[in-house]
Amino acid sequence: MEETSKYRKYKKGVLSQTNTTMHRCKNISSSQPSGEEKVPCRCCSICNNIISSSILGHEKSRDKCGICCQVKKIGTKWFKHGYENINKNGTVVSKSLSTLTFSPSLPRRYNKRAVLCGVSYSKRKFRLKGTINDISNMWELLSKNYKFPNECIRVLTEQEANVDLIPTKRNIVESLRWLVKDCEPGDSLVFYFSGHGLQQPDFKEDEIDGFDETLCPVDFLKEGMIIDNDINSTIVWPLKNGVTLHAIIDACHSGTILDLLYVYNGESGTWEDNKPPSKEPMRKHTSGGVAICLSACEDNQMAADTKVFGGKGMNGVLTYLLTKTIREYPEISYGCLLEKMHDEIRKINRSRCHNSMLQHIFHSKIAQDALLSSSEKFDVSTRIFTL
């Protein structure tokens, strides 16, 4: 089997021709320009569910998965999917994560704060059933490896008893404001999201590829999506000198979801300019602090869920590999982290190629490249990943 290169060159807006399997996206409804090859669908039994595309002003989609039918770049809508929330013992997770949730009134000020958002869309046809596992893995990583106090971790899922912690658009935006409010030098902030990611046309002309990246709250069909411009102004602008923010986004099309100024090209080992191309000056920078984003895939790619990691439950590929790698190599650099995650994906794809059972179940390979972006350039080979 021909192997893909170790890193793909970062290229915004170019649709990947590589097949993916068990995408963390679902129901694509558009048409592909004539002459382009159809990509065979690997999840048709799930993709029969229809999603309204009213957000972008289109009519409801046809009764085929967009991977089966022709795909057009403009207005493409990608969704991720999962299966049952299953813990390590193989039982369905149904209890609330309220025990993991922050205290609304902190007894004292801490220099660590995190927002963990996992959206399952449980009452919709395009529901996700692995995001709770992702939230649990991230919470454990923060609390055990990076010593985040429990009361400083705000968890938003649909299982929370507190209505203010349901991952609605309003609650997510409010939580992002809470994350950066009154930040001070020495603070370490984390925003984690596991859910659907989409793209929409860029009307402000501040995107290189002409598309804004978006996150989908649980009520996005009614209230709308959260676009990258608003995420940038909410949690990037306020970062003062000495404050560091990490965003970890396990969603489709999440490459430049924070609209940071630089994107790391692993193929060339250089940082590429991602400054807004618009004629009108647009602010995308911090107030002296540092923002770093680790995304599940490039803007033109889909992220994937998988259960080939040994457990019975579904996990986001990025979340699982990130937490696994950090536990095994706690002093790893950013560059080595990207490399090891890529190597793990390559191993999985190789095993599928040689294992007839896995090949029968999954049919095709995981094709996503974790993307690193930052508000400033740094040496990824020497800087240790820490939260």
The residue annotated as part of the active site, out of 196, 246, 253, 342, is 196
The total number of residues written for the chain in this structure = 387
Spatial contact of 367 and 18, defined as CB atoms under 8 Å apart: yes
Question: 354 an active-site residue?
Answer: no
Beta-strand runs (E) in the chain = 112-118, 153-156, 188-194, 197-201, 211-215, 226-227, 244-250, 262-265, 270-273, 290-295, 305-306, 315-316, 371-374
Handedness of CA 169, 170, 175, 180 (dihedral sign): positive
Phi/psi of residue 257, nearest 5 degrees? -65, -20
- Rounded to whole angstroms, the Cα distance separating 327 from 102 reads 23
* Catalytic choice (25, 183, 216, 252): 252
Name the region of 91 (left: φ>0; alpha: ψ -120 to 50; beta: rest): beta
User: Distance between CA 249 and CA 246 in Å, rounded?
Assistant: 10
Positive or negative torsion for Cα 369, 374, 273, 78: positive
CA angle centred on 371, ends 154 and 147, rounded to 5°: 35
231 backbone dihedrals φ, ψ, rounded to 5°: -65, -45
Q: Is 196 known to be catalytic?
A: yes
Q: What amino acid is encoded at 48 in this protein?
A: N
Active site residues: 196, 252
